[in-house]
Amino acid sequence: MGRRKSHDGAPTGYNSPFAVGGARKDPVFMDTNRIRQSLESTACEAVDLARRLGADQAEAAISHDEGFSVTVRMGELESVERQRDRGLSVTVYRGGRKGSASTVDYSSDAVEQTVRKAMSIAEFTAEDEYAGLADAELMAGDLPDLDLYHPWEIDITEAERLALRAEDAAWGADERIANSEGATVSTGGGVRAYANSHGFCAGFPASSHTLSCSVVAGEDGSLERDYWYTTARVPAEVEKPESVGETAASRTIRRLGARQLSTRTVPVVFPAELARGLFGHLVGAITGTSQYRKASFLLDAAGDRIFPEFIEIREDPFIPRAMGSAAYDSEGVATRRRTLVEEGVLGGYVLSSYSARRLGMQTTGNAGGVRNLIVAPNGGSLEALLGECPQAFLVGELLGQGVNTVTGDYSRGAAGFWVEDGAIVHAVHEVTLAGNLRDVFKGILKVGSDMDTRGSIRCGSVLVEGLTVAGT
């Protein structure tokens, strides 16, 4: 495909079908205080009604989300999507039986019907001695303001301009950029609230803003694609469009000329955005569900050294503006800072109240997952990690789902780069990374300082020894 002509930066598509009445829609602004109060009131109404109808315990989770996304491709507006979602979920417990029902209608009649449906369902479920709310004394008390809501003062026209700037930057980065899969700007926010029959009732607003770009490069008859994205709660912390586009282009260009490798065992470097997945496998293996089901390669591993001594992993749910921050979990239990791995030793599990009861333990305030799991670095940048290896394989992309969390067997299709003396020699495709996660964890040599903070797991690049790169 021929190169798209350079765009002059002016917004396009004023008369497109995406415009409403010939005008662009306004930015997303919500009266979060009013919405929070309304959601809390509705959640409490549902819980109180369930108790009056005979529930031993009850809980309700409710949400309201608004936002929009704008996608451009080849210099033209491709799509505009407006989002407005909401939902109420009610769970009741009666005589050890559990029933749940949900609705998107917040009227009093709909709430009553939903509660009655949950009560009806509970009559047909089996008794479960472990079911029920988390203990009352564990409910969150004073809730800190974690500064999670920051609306972005842009309308659809400005979002289109930003997306075009990203795509233009990618086109201008290199003549080998042959096509674009588009650039997207998304902005939105919402309010979540939760109430239960312990008397807990709270809500909070949060925002999220994202800019992404994906392009295709061509050379000698071969095509490669790659992308980049930025996301943050605060608009000022979103990367500049030009940076996103240029990064997407450079990541794509470096994949050209890919070759296969012969099978070998070499140090492997996972860049920060992929290294998060390694520690995601850790979390999956130490959740209460995997432990009580005895479906984990780290079964009963608390107190065992599963990493080298320098590895420290802690959870901090109170980082202002962070993507994983929350003052309470999805059961209303107060979250807390804790060290999950110290000197390589696993200190405990990731538990909800239900899984904790099954294991004879206490919830860790992790119903709904981990919140800002931080892997402490002991090395420098990605380039510094590569420079420590005479030869290494740098992972660029992982393919497939070849991870067995019961046995720890790890086998993922991959593409990436062959590295010698700290420099990329050529791109690599059609290889498989093979090993066992126990060995992978113990084989970590360095964790980089280039921390990726775009999710609930925050870590830098990771250098691992002893993985097999299976090729020709």
Q: Given this model, what pLDDT does residue 470 score?
A: 94
- Cα 380 to Cα 239, 267, 383, 396, 451: the distances in Å are 22, 17, 8, 19, 10
* Domain range for 427: 264-470
Whether residue 330 is contained in a domain is answered as yes
Whether residue 312 is contained in a domain is answered as yes
Whether residue 252 is contained in a domain is answered as no
Q: Which of 247, 243, 248, 120 is nearest to 179 (CA)?
A: 248
Exposed, middle or buried: residue 2 (CB in 10 Å: 0-12, 13-18, 19+)?
exposed
How far apart (Å, rounded) are the C-alpha atoms in residues 179 and 48? 57
How far apart (Å, rounded) are the C-alpha atoms in residues 48 and 305? 47
Structural contact between residues 93 and 60, judged by C-beta atoms closer than 8 angstroms: no
Whether residue 259 is contained in a domain is answered as no
Q: Which two tokens stand for residue 234?
A: 């605060």
**Which 3 state secondary structure label does DSSP give 85?**
strand
Q: Which of 71, 75, 72, 242 is nearest to 170 (CA)?
A: 242
Whether residue 102 is contained in a domain is answered as no
Q: Given this model, what pLDDT does residue 328 score?
A: 98
Whether residue 78 is contained in a domain is answered as no
For residue 422, give the amino acid letter. G
Q: Given this model, what pLDDT does residue 400 score?
A: 85
Percent helix / strand / coil, the chain, rounded to 5: 25, 35, 40
Sheet holding 201-219, edge to edge: 97-103, 76-94, 57-73, 177-196, 201-219, 222-232
Q: DSSP string spanning 73-84? A: ETTEEEEEEEEE
Whether residue 164 is contained in a domain is answered as no
How far apart (Å, rounded) are the C-alpha atoms in residues 35 and 62? 11
Q: What is the pLDDT along the chain (472 residues), one digit of tens a residue?
A: 444 544 444 333 322 323 333 334 567 778 999 999 999 999 999 999 999 999 999 999 999 999 999 999 999 999 999 999 999 999 999 999 999 999 999 999 999 999 999 999 999 999 999 999 999 999 999 899 999 999 999 999 999 999 999 999 999 999 999 999 999 999 999 999 999 999 999 999 999 999 999 999 999 888 999 999 999 999 999 999 999 999 999 999 999 999 999 999 999 999 999 999 999 999 999 999 999 999 999 999 999 999 999 999 999 999 999 999 999 999 999 999 999 999 999 999 999 999 999 999 999 999 999 999 999 999 999 999 999 999 999 999 999 888 999 999 999 999 999 999 999 999 999 999 999 999 999 999 999 999 999 999 999 999 999 799 999 8
Q: Given this model, what pLDDT does residue 239 score?
A: 97
Q: DSSP string spanning 175-216? A: TTEEEEEEEEEEEEEEEEEEEETTS-EEEEEEEEEEEEEEEE
Q: Given this model, what pLDDT does residue 221 score?
A: 87
Whether residue 400 is contained in a domain is answered as yes
Sheet holding 313-315, edge to edge: 345-346, 338-342, 313-315, 373-375, 457-458
DSSP alpha helix (H) spans, 360-452 = 382-387, 437-442
Cβ partners under 8 Å of residue 465, min gap 6: 267, 268, 443, 445
Q: How many domains are contained in the chain? A: 1
